């Protein structure tokens, strides 16, 4: 079917065939092209959730260590450092 959208060619190797066979149990009437598109969207949803989880874990780690290094430099450290820079 003609389309202005980009098309991609996918080689169905053994791993992809296994995934497609599992997906076929959920969506038995889809043609292979639509099955692969649906699998890609589901994978994208999964990646989005994983990225959200990673960001939350990173934020939690940063909150946990926030302020741990406040005593590494004197209070006027940045002012003194900036005073050394040429104007």
pLDDT value at residue 67? 86
Residue 3 in any domain: the answer is no
Residue 8 in any domain: the answer is no
- Burial of residue 9 (number of CB atoms within 10 Å: 0-12, 13-18, 19+): exposed
Q: Does residue 87 have a pLDDT over 80?
A: no
Residue 77 in any domain: the answer is yes
Residue 1 in any domain: the answer is no
- Give the residue numbers spanning the domain of 32: 14-84
The distance between the two most distant Cα atoms of the chain, rounded to a whole number of Å, is 72
Domain tally for the chain?
A: 1
Residues 6+ apart with CB under 8 A from 23: 35, 38, 39
DSSP letter assigned to residue 1: -
pLDDT value at residue 14? 97
Residue 23 in any domain: the answer is yes
| Model confidence, pTM | 0.63
pLDDT value at residue 71? 85
Q: At what angle are helices 14-26 and 32-65 packed, to 10 degrees?
A: 100
Residue 78 in any domain: the answer is yes
pLDDT value at residue 2? 81
**What pLDDT digit, counting tens, does each position of 2-59 carry?**
889 999 999 999 999 999 999 999 999 999 999 999 999 999 999 999 999 999 999 9
């Amino acid at each position: 079917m003609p389309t202005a959208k980009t098309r991609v060619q996918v080689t169905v190797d053994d791993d992809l065939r296994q995934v497609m066979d599992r997906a076929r149990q959920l969506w038995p009437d889809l043609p292979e092209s639509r099955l692969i598109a649906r699998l890609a969207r589901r994978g994208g949803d999964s990646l989005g959730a994983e990225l959200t989880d990673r960001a939350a874990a990173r934020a939690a780690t940063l909150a946990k260590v926030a302020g741990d290094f406040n005593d590494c430099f004197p209070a006027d450290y940045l002012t003194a450092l900036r005073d050394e820079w040429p104007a």
